Amino acid sequence: MLNGELSLNYNHLLAHAIGTEQGLPEDALDSLSEAFAQVHPALWEKTGKGSDFLGFLDLPQTISSQLDQIQAVADDLAAQSDIHVVLGIGGSYLGAKALIQALCHPYHNELSRSKRKHRPRIYFEGNSLDTDSLNALRSLLPEGAPTELSEHWSLNVISKSGGTIETAVAFRFLRHWLEASYGAEAAQRIVATTDVAKGQLKALANKEGYRTFVIPDNVGGRYSVLTPVGLLPAAVAGINIHEVVRGAQDMAELCKNPNPSQNPAYAYAGLQYLSAAAGRDVSVMNIWDKSLESIGFWYDQLCAESLGKEGRGRVPLTGVCTRDLHARGQQLQQGERNALVTNLFVTQPQAELVLPSDATDSDALNYLGAMPVQQMLSSAFEGTNFAYLQDQRPTLDLVLGQRSAYHVGALLYLLEVATVAEGYLMQINPLDQPGVEAYKQFMFGLLGRSDMARYKDLFEARQPDKDAAIL
Report, as residue numbers or ranges, the catalytic residues: 305, 326, 440
DSSP 262-312: T-HHHHHHHHHHHHHHTT--EEEEEESSGGGHHHHHHHHHHHHHHH--TT-
b/e sequence 102-137, b meaning 16+ C-beta within 10 Å: bbbeeebeeeeeeebeebbbbbbbbbeeeeeebeeb
Comparing C-alpha atoms, which of 438, 149, 397, 95 is closest to residue 268?
397
- Written as one string, the DSSP assignment of 213-257 is EE--TTB-GGG-TTSHHHHHHHHHHT--HHHHHHHHHHHHHHHT-
Alpha helices in 335-403 (DSSP H): 373-390
Distance CA 406, CA 102 (A): 12
Reference 344, options 423, 415, 275, 428; nearest CA is: 415
DSSP 8-state code for residue 143: S
According to DSSP, the residues that pair with 160 across neighbouring strands are: none
For residues 356 and 297, is the Cβ–Cβ distance under 8 A? no
Decide: 162 and 200 in contact? Cβ < 8 Å: yes
Cα–Cα nearest to 35, from 237, 271, 344, 289: 271
Q: At what angle do helices 228-237 and 241-255 cross, to 10 degrees?
A: 140
Q: Which helix H or strand E contains 33, and what residues bound it?
A: helix 33-44
Question: Is the separation of the CB atoms in 170 and 129 below 8 Å?
Answer: no
DSSP structure class, residue 391: T
DSSP type of residue 258: S
Non-local (6+) Cβ contacts of 345 within 8 A are 288, 289, 381, 397, 398, 399, 400
The torsion region of residue 3 among left (phi > 0), alpha (psi -120 to 50) and beta comes to left
Which residues are paired to 158 by β-bridges? Answer: 193
Question: Torsion angle of alpha carbons 287, 290, 294, 298, nearest 10°?
Answer: -10
